[in-house]
Structure formats: C-alpha cells, structure tokens
Amino acid sequence: MNLLAIFGEALRALRQNRLRTGLTMLGMIIGVAAVVLMLSIGQGARTKINETIAAMGSNLFIVVPGATSSGGFSFGSGSVRTLTINDAYTIAELPSIKTTAPVVTGTAQLSYAAKNWSTIVTGTTANYFDVSNWKMEAGTTFTESDVRSAARVVVLGSVTAKNLLGDEDPIGKTIRITNRPFLVVGVLMAKGQSLTGRDQDDTVVIPITTSERQITGNQFPGSIRYMLVQGTSATEMDIAEIEIIQLLRQRHRIAKGKENDFTVRNLTAVADVATDAAKVMSIVLGAIASVSLLVGGIGIMNIMLVSVTERTREIGIRMAIGANQRAILTQFLLEAMMICIMGGLIGLLLGIGGAWLVSQFADMLIVITLGMVALAFLFASAVGIFFGFYPARKAASLKPVDALRYE
Amino acid sequence: MFSPEINHSNNPLIQVINLNKSYSLQDANGKTITTQVLFNINLTINQGEFVAIMGHSGSGKSTLMNILGCLDIPTNGSYWLAGKNVATLSSNALAKIRNQHIGFVFQGFNLLKRMTALDNVATPLLYAGISRAQSRKRALELLRRTGLENFAMHQPNQLSGGQQQRVAISRALINQPPLILADEPTGNLDSQTSNEIMLLFQQLNREQGITIVLVTHEDDIAAYAGRLIRLKDGRIIVDKNNTN
Ligand SMILES: Nc1ncnc2c1ncn2[C@@H]1O[C@H](COP(=O)(O)OP(=O)(O)OP(=O)(O)O)[C@@H](O)[C@H]1O
Ligand SMILES: [Mg+2]
C-alpha cells in the first residue's frame, strides 16, 4: 500500500459523501470565521484607540476653570471664567513644564465665495499645534508674532477646508469669519474623532488675541476656556501637577482649606482609561470568539464521531479485504486533515470577508493578525483531526469480525 | 460424530486442532456469562477441496468461518493455514493473509457503499500495493469474466442482489487467492441466481483449483460441493464425501 493510493481513497471517500463532508466542514468554517471576525474587530478597536491617543500629544495636562465635578471634566461650564492667559504664561515658566497653550473657543459663521459654514473657532497661541501634536497637511501654522499683532490669519481643519473651499487650494485664499477677512496660512492634517467622539477636524484655529478682540469677544478679558500644558518628561508628571496646582492657588489667592477654582487633568490618565476600556472590549470579543470556537469544535467533534462510528462497518470491510491498521488510520487521518484544511481556509476567507464588510459598512477599523488566524485554524484543526482520527483508531483496533458486525 | 476415517491428500491447506470458541457477555447484574459456541473442532481441508458446511441456525457455522478467514481468533486450540500457526502472526501479517490468500464472500455482500463495482473489486489490489490504473484494468477484466462488464460503473445500490454477490465474488478473486470462504453466499438470492453463483464457484474450483469452503442451509446448494461437514451445537457431527 502506498500513501498516494490511500490519499486517493480518502479524497474519493470525501467526494462520495458530499453531505457529510459539507456538514463537517461547516463546523470548521463557522468556528474559524467567527473567531477571525471577533478578534479582528477587537484588535481594530484597540488599534484605533491607540492611534487616537498617540495623536493627542504626550505628557499633557488640560487645565479647565471651575472646581472638580464628580462627573469628570467638561468644556461646557462657560459661566466660570477663572483661568486667564497670564495664568498660562506663568505656568509655562515652571521648571517641570515645557510649554502651555491657552485656548478660547466660540462658534462663528465662515464664508468663502458663495459658501457659508458655521464651525468652532479655536483661538490659541502658536505652540498649540506642537503641544497637541497636530501636523500640517499644507502651508504653515501662524506664528508668535501673528499672536502678538493679532493678525487675521487662520489655519483650517481638514473637514472645514473641504466644506468651505471644496477642491480649491486653500493656502493664500482669503475667507471671512463673521464677515472679517482672514488669510488662510495652513490646513491641518485630519485627526479623526476625539475619545469623546467629537469630530476634531471641523474647526478653524486663529491667534488667541485676534479671537478675543475681533471674533468671539469676551465678557471677561483675558479669561480662557482651557489650557493645554505640556510637561517636560513623562516621569515628572506628578511633580508638574503639584506645581501647577500650587502656582494657580497662589495666583488665584485661594485660602488654605478652600477648594480649587480650576481642575487639572492628566490626559495620559484619561488615555489609560480609554486603553483599559478597549482592552476590556477585546477581552469580551475574545471570549465570544472562544465560545464560537468551542461550539464549532463541538460541532466538528460530533459529526466526526458520528460519521466515523457509522463507518465502523466500512472499516470492517476494508480490514476483511486486506487493509492493515496503518492503511485505515492513514486514510481517516487524511480525510480529517483535508476537511479541516479546506474548511479552515473557507472559514478564514469568510472571516476576512466579514471583517472587510464590517469595516466598510460600520466604518470601523479592522485588524487581522497572523496570530489570530493561526489560533483559529490550529484549534479547529486539532479538534477536527483528533475526533476524526481517534474513533477511527478505536474501530481499527477491533477484530475485523467485530467491526463488520457493528450496527 | 467427527469421522476421522476420511483421508485427504497429505497437503493440508487448513488444519484446525482442538479448537474452542466461547463468548463472554455481561448479564443484567454485571456478572460475566461465558457461552461456548465451538467445541473441540478438528478439521483438515486440503488444497483444491470444495467443502460445504451445514447446520442449524446458531450452530456456530459463521463463527468457524470467521476464524478460518482470520477475521476472528479462537479461544483456544490452534489453526494452521498453509503450514503457519495463525496465532503467532502479527495483525499486519493477518491483514496480508486476508488480502493475498483468502477471499471472503458474505451473505450480506458487504460491498463498500457509494463506490462503483469496479472500484469495489479493485480495492484489495490497492492494499496489495498495486497501482490504481493497473488495479482497475485487472478489476475490469475480472468483471468481464463474471459477466458484469456493463455494470462496472454501477454503485451497489444500483445492482441486483445476484449482481452484487458476483461483484463481491470478483472482489474475493482479484488477488487470485488459493482459498475462498463463502458464508451463505446465496442466502439472499433466488434459486436460479443461486445456481448461477454456484456454477461460478464450481468452475473456479475445477478449473483453477481454488479451495472453496461454503456455508449453506440448502441441500441443493451443498450438492455442488465435494465434501459435506455438518455442525450441531458447536460440534462437527458429520464430515463426509458428497456422493451426489
Ligand atoms: N459476538 C458474539 N457475542 C456473543 N455471542 C455470539 C457472538 N457471535 C455469535 N454468538 C453466538 O454464537 C452462536 C453461533 O453463532 P453463529 O453466527 O456462528 O451461528 P450460525 O451457525 O452462523 O447461524 P446462522 O445459520 O443463523 O447464521 C450463537 O448462539 C450466537 O448467539
Ligand atoms: Mg451464520
């Protein structure tokens, strides 16, 4: 007996029992496809969050006016105006602080040619782009001297640029913000959604001085909506936080025992929370995937067990006409392997196809790694091959007469 | 009783000495009950003989045939096949004997389902290590001789009982074994088909000198054989030349 002949025999057996072969493969297909799909969604979510965090800038604090509220921090508390531009400049002098970027915001009407667009105007200093790790798609940022002279220059977010100017090159064009002409000096790189789900690219950025004097106006001159603070090193963030708090309490003349009238948030800590959430999500999806794999595995096991047991008689006949144990075992092993490999490959294609569909229709990032593919494939194959092989081995170790008499 | 006076040529193909076979079963209380099915069988069959085994249902005919066919093993006693003590052979060696030296024909045909007649007949050659093309060629030749060449591509469920049995006989013959064991080969067939099958056996025995041992319940089937053995309750009670 040679291996090739047995291989042919196995292939023939699979072809002759299309239904059985198909059903067995189905378990394999579903198990592998489900795992690949689940894991790729989980992995995609993690990657997405990591990208968002990386885009946020490093060693960042955000300081907002108002006392710490129990529900976390929000930018909505417009009535409290306790932080000033000068607070920001003074904090920047601290040894543990690299730089600060004070920010005022407001909504304004933009226009270019016949187009109108209402969006958020961010007024800030020139180092804002660096602190928030925001790269330029085209043109340049505005400069410190633009800030000092309250120049009418603007940097557009990518979505705003698209909406206002369409396919035109925005650099050097003049747009109007609440009817005042502004020169477009740059366009920001797309950043996507923030961790809170806001589209960060629909905005325009102008010098803080220009914003305060000419666009949003200010009931409380010098007050700001928030400031970004960048520490000098990741290891000194705790010291930096204490120094910021001390300095601000001193500047705001807050008596001992009184509450702060501002809140300092370490954005790295916020990012950690988001990362943890993503991790939990991947674990949940991974658990679902494991269950699918287990169910798929049990399906494979059942059909393999039933079909091989049913074939005990066939094994008896083959032994009666001269097959030795090895020939029979080789045939069943090959059959199980072929089913697992084919089913696994189909499952893989379906899983990848499903992941692609999800990424298209749900606008989610999907990441497929070799590891998850290997995991799904190997586990399902191991189950399929074991349960295809083990009952066959049992049958082949029977006396031929017992296998033949098997009902 | 066993008749030792019957003398055959001094070239035994099969020699069974003091063979016993019993089965152990568990009863409802988990106690083991042993039932003995064959008692002290002594039997010598020479090359070229045509032997019919008869006896009531349950008398142990199939049990004996399965042992002779190396499908089962005796509880004690010895079985010598072509001068070899079967008890000393490995399972691989037994598989080889079943493949090369014995052709088994069953009452229920035992063809492989969903496989053509041609492939069924060719399968033993596959286990003998003969190439697929060569196997199919020889199988087709054999089917032609048994008058089934037009049915070569039929699957068992597309064949009549007689045709299926002829496929099974072709399969038993494909490796040109010196011994054919047939357990009620005509049990599921009508009398005309039975006679055709028996003529085929007779021809194989006479023209090719193949030794045939056949179990039957019918006297006119047994009449084709040259020697008659009768079993009763696991013992040989008659062993004589067939005078028909
Ligand atoms: N695997 C087994 N386990 C237990 N008892 C068995 C087994 N096989 C056969 N027997 C018993 O052995 C006895 C002989 O059975 P066997 O099949 O040899 O009879 P037989 O002569 O071929 O009968 P029939 O003419 O009906 O085919 C029966 O009583 C049967 O119950
Ligand atoms: Mg019987």
Helix, strand, coil: what percent of chain B each, to 5?
A: 35, 30, 35
Confidence of residue B9 (pLDDT cuts 50, 70, 90): very low
Share of chain B above pLDDT 90, in %: 79
CA distances (Å), origin A83, targets A101, A132, B88: 12, 19, 100
SS3 A22: helix
Pocket flag, ligand 1, residue B57 (CB < 6 Å): yes
What is the pLDDT, as a whole number, of residue A69?
54
Q: Is A363 within 8 Å of A276 (Cβ atoms)?
A: no
Instruction: Give the alpha-carbon dihedral of B55, B59, B63, B64, to 10 degrees.
Output: -50
| Mutation pick for ligand 1 pocket among B63, B217, B236 (CB with most ligand atoms within 8 Å) | B63
Tally of domains in chain B: 1
Asked if residue B185 belongs to a domain, the reply is yes
In this structure, the residue with its CA closest to atom 28 of ligand 1 is B58
Look at A12 and B66 and tell me if their CB atoms are within 8 Å: no
pLDDT of B210 strictly over 50: yes
**Beta-carbon contacts of residue A362 (< 8 Å; ≥ 6 apart):** none
What is the pLDDT, as a whole number, of residue A78?
46
Ligand nearest the Cα of residue A398 is 1
pLDDT of B10 strictly over 70: no
Instruction: Name the residue among A218, A171, A398, A382 with its Cα closest to residue A294.
Output: A382
Give distance in angstroms: CA of B180 to centre of ligand 1.
21
Pocket flag, ligand 1, residue B37 (CB < 6 Å): yes
Q: Which domain holds residue B58?
A: 49-73+90-241
In this structure, the residue with its CA closest to atom 7 of ligand 1 is B23
Where b means 16+ CB within 10 Å and e means fewer, B22-51 reads: eeeeeeeeeeeeeeebbbebebbbbbbbbb
CA distance B109 to chain A (A): 10
Asked if residue B28 belongs to a domain, the reply is no
Q: Is B122 within 8 Å of B139 (Cβ atoms)?
A: yes
In this structure, the residue with its CA closest to atom 30 of ligand 1 is B58
DSSP code at position B21: E
Ligand nearest the Cα of residue B234 is 1
Give distance in angstroms: CA of B66 to centre of ligand 1.
11
CB contacts, 8 Å: A325 with chain B: 91-92, 95
Judge whether A400 is closer than 8 Å to chain B, CB to CB. Answer: yes
**Beta-carbon contacts of residue A143 (< 8 Å; ≥ 6 apart):** A126
Helix (H) or strand (E) holding B8: none
Q: Other C-beta atoms within 10 Å of A194: how many?
A: 12
Measured distance CA(B67)–CA(B41) in Å, rounded? 12
Q: Is B24 within 8 Å of B34 (Cβ atoms)?
A: yes
Instruction: Name the residue among B160, B163, B162 with its Cα closest to residue B118.
Output: B163
Measured distance CA(A5)–CA(A10) in Å, rounded? 9
CB contacts, 8 Å: B171 with chain A: 321
Measured distance CA(A112)–CA(A391) in Å, rounded? 77
What is the pLDDT, as a whole number, of residue A71?
47
Instruction: Name the residue among A283, A394, A267 with its Cα closest to residue A42.
Output: A283
Asked if residue B153 belongs to a domain, the reply is yes
Measured distance CA(B191)–CA(B209) in Å, rounded? 25
Q: Are strands A203-207 and A153-156 parallel, antiparallel or unpaired?
A: antiparallel
Pocket flag, ligand 1, residue B44 (CB < 6 Å): no
Measured in whole angstroms, how far is the alpha carbon of residue B76 from the centre of its chain? 21
Helix (H) or strand (E) holding A203: strand A203-207
CA distance B104 to chain A (A): 7
Please identify, by atom number, the ligand 1 atom nearest to the C-alpha of residue B64: 18
Nearest-CA residue of chain A relative to B109? A317
- Concatenate the DSSP letters of all residues of A236-263 into one string: GHHHHHHHHHHHHHHHTTPPTTSPPSEE
SS3 B60: coil
Q: Which two tokens stand for residue B120?
A: 């069924």
**Beta-carbon contacts of residue B34 (< 8 Å; ≥ 6 apart):** B22, B23, B24, B25
Instruction: Name the residue among A404, A323, A2, A333 with its Cα closest to residue B111.
Output: A404
Question: Residue A122 pairs with which residues in a beta bridge?
Answer: A105, A205
Between B112 and A57, the more confident residue is B112
CATH number at residue B235: 3.40.50.300
Domain ranges of chain A: 3-52+273-405, 81-260
Give distance in angstroms: CA of B106 to centre of ligand 1.
15
Measured distance CA(B157)–CA(A103) in Å, rounded? 86
Judge whether A131 is closer than 8 Å to chain B, CB to CB. Answer: no
Q: What is the ipTM of this complex?
A: 0.92
Q: Mind listing the pLDDT tens digit for each residue in B49-98?
A: 999 999 999 999 999 999 999 999 999 999 999 989 999 999 999 999 99
CB contacts, 8 Å: A407 with chain B: none
Q: Is A19 within 8 Å of A251 (Cβ atoms)?
A: no
Q: Tell me the pLDDT of chain B averaged across its residues.
A: 90
Confidence of residue B167 (pLDDT cuts 50, 70, 90): very high
Give distance in angstroms: CA of B8 to centre of ligand 2.
27
Instruction: Name the residue among A79, A101, A276 with its Cα closest to residue A195.
Output: A276
What is the pLDDT, as a whole number, of residue A96?
86
Measured distance CA(A103)–CA(A147) in Å, rounded? 12
Residue B116: half-sphere exposure toward Cβ, Cα within 13 Å? 15
Q: Is B128 within 8 Å of B99 (Cβ atoms)?
A: yes
Q: Are strands B102-105 and B12-26 parallel, antiparallel or unpaired?
A: unpaired
For chain A, residues with pLDDT lower than 70 are 1, 68-80, 195-197, 217-220, 308-309
- Concatenate the DSSP letters of all residues of B173-199 into one string: HTT--SEEEEESTTTTS-HHHHHHHHH
SS3 B56: coil
